[in-house]
Amino acid sequence: MRFQMIAFSAAMMAATSLPALAQSTDSAWLDAVSEQLARDEQCQVEYFVNIREGELAGRKTYEARAQCRDGRQFDAARTEPEKDFMLKICQITVC
């Protein structure tokens, strides 16, 4: 029983230290976000969260939050036929 608890604790610690990885049905647009962030904001993307793909008035929409290696986060959004993503830095807000 004690071994099982130690193994469970080790597994939980390993799981909580990993970043949350999001999934996409078409990862090419995530590559485009990474390239634009590198070019425009000097951000090396580590991972994405809150990935959303949808449709609005018959046009595809894409949204995601990117985590940069230096700790910054950006929200990226695009509605086709636009080629570039609208990038907005996430900042701490105080209520």
Domain tally, the chain: 1
The model's pLDDT over 56-68, given as tens digits with 9 standing for 90+, comes to 999 999 999 999 9
User: Has residue 95 been placed in a domain?
Assistant: no
Range of the domain at 50: 2-89
User: Has residue 52 been placed in a domain?
Assistant: yes
User: Has residue 83 been placed in a domain?
Assistant: yes
Average confidence (pLDDT) over 42-60: 96
Q: Is the pTM of the predicted complex or chain greater than 0.75? A: no
User: Has residue 68 been placed in a domain?
Assistant: yes
User: Has residue 94 been placed in a domain?
Assistant: no
Residue 84 makes CB contacts below 8 A (sequence gap 6+) with 36, 78
Could you tell me the pLDDT band of residue 88, with boundaries at 50, 70 and 90?
very high
| Cα 26 to Cα 22, 38, 54, 56, 91, distances in angstroms | 12, 20, 12, 17, 28
Share of the chain above pLDDT 70, in %: 73
Average confidence (pLDDT) over 6-35: 60
